[in-house]
Amino acid sequence: MKSTSRERLLEATATLTYQDGVNVGVDALCKAAGVSKRSMYQLFESKDDLLAATLKERTAPFVATLLPPAADGRSPRERILHVFEQLESQAGAPAFRGCRYLAVQIELKDQNHPASQAAHRIKAKLTSFFRAEAERGGANDPGLLARQLSLVFDGAVARAGVEAENLAGLIAPTVGVLLDSAGVR
């Protein structure tokens, strides 16, 4: 099945901004998608809106590869550790450049930018997952633990994304200490 101009623009934007950052020009995005600039502006109000739409479009695959399935029978501790095991696995891939959502927030600086807002909502969902599991697992302060886990996640993806750190054998013990300290079962 032939993809639409919109689908090609979303794919090209996802690929190029993940590889090269959000400052990729409209010309490069349109060329990679095989779409004219006129067509792009008929589909999206601006490059900013295209970037925000791309992030939203990537949410489901991001969540599916990172979070465990709902009600999978594992303990909250195992479900939290699953996220970090997935991160470690993904970080070992040659094309890994970190978390696209964190990168967008860092690169754009403007928290009112539509893509920054989309990225913030997606990252907040991860923190909410951590909080819900921390509550189920009996953490003494689920909110604090969720923020700590998000901090570890973002730090790990950033360090692995710039190839400053190999996460193998490092992330699970680090998260385990936080879970132990919080009393998560």
Angle between helices 100-108 and 47-57 (to 10 degrees): 150
Q: Which two tokens stand for residue 94?
A: 């040659």
Query: How many other β-carbons are positioned within 10 Å of the β-carbon of residue 140?
Result: 11
Is the domain of 17 the same as that of 83?
no
Q: Is 172 among the domain residues?
A: yes
> Can you give the CATH number for the domain in which 30 is found?
1.10.10
Question: In the prediction, which pLDDT does 128 show?
Answer: 97
Is the domain of 14 the same as that of 84?
no
Residue 16 lies in domain:
5-45
Q: Which two tokens stand for residue 30?
A: 């349109």
Residues 6+ apart with CB under 8 A from 141: 182
Is the domain of 27 the same as that of 94?
no
Q: Is 106 among the domain residues?
A: yes
Question: In the prediction, which pLDDT does 185 show?
Answer: 87
Is the domain of 31 the same as that of 106?
no
Question: In the prediction, which pLDDT does 1 show?
Answer: 64
This prediction's pTM? 0.92
Is the domain of 162 the same as that of 85?
yes
Q: Is 52 among the domain residues?
A: no
How buried is residue 93: exposed, middle or buried, by Cβ count under 10 Å (0-12/13-18/19+)? Answer: exposed
∠ CA(14), CA(105), CA(63), 5° rounding? 55
> Can you give the CATH number for the domain in which 148 is found?
1.10.357.10
Q: Is 50 among the domain residues?
A: no
Digits of tens for pLDDT over the chain (185 positions)?
A: 678 999 999 999 999 999 999 999 999 999 999 999 999 999 999 999 999 999 999 998 888 999 999 889 999 999 999 999 999 999 999 899 999 999 999 999 899 999 999 999 999 999 999 999 999 999 999 999 999 999 999 999 999 999 998 999 999 999 999 999 999 98
Question: In the prediction, which pLDDT does 71 show?
Answer: 86
Residues 6+ apart with CB under 8 A from 15: 32
Q: Is 11 among the domain residues?
A: yes
Q: Is 54 among the domain residues?
A: no
